[in-house]
């Protein structure tokens, strides 16, 4: 499968949406943004527990983060996934 790199504007919108929706609980350990077939933008947000407090994202926080990214990309076809990494 061929994967294309997304442009700067799309990446900026995704990252801003994640930062604005971040509540401080849990830790984001990675963000992958790529463009697939038919110009669909795929966003994977990898997360886990905060190293100091052990707090993780709750279902509502994850839903809000996905919704914020979807809102930022509303003009484009996209998918948004949150992937939990368990230590």
Give me the pLDDT at residue 1, please: 43
List the domain boundaries for the chain. Answer: 8-84
Q: State which fold the 8-84 domain adopts.
A: GMP Synthetase; Chain A, domain 3 (3.30.300)
Bridge-based pairing of strands 41-48 and 78-84 is: parallel
The reported pTM is: 0.87
Q: Is 59 within 8 Å of 26 (Cβ atoms)?
A: no
Q: What tens-digit pLDDT sequence spans the chain (87 residues)?
A: 445 667 889 999 999 999 999 887 889 999 999 988 888 999 999 999 988 888 899 999 999 999 999 999 998 999 999 999 987
């Amino acid at each position: 499968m061929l994967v294309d790199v997304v442009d700067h504007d799309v990446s900026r919108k995704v990252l801003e949406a994640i930062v604005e929706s971040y509540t401080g609980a849990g830790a984001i350990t990675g963000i992958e943004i790529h463009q697939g077939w038919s110009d669909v933008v795929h966003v994977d947000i990898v997360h886990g527990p905060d190293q100091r407090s052990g707090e993780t994202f709750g279902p509502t926080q994850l839903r809000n983060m996905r919704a914020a990214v979807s809102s930022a990309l509303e003009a484009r076809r996209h998918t948004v996934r949150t992937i939990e990494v368990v230590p």
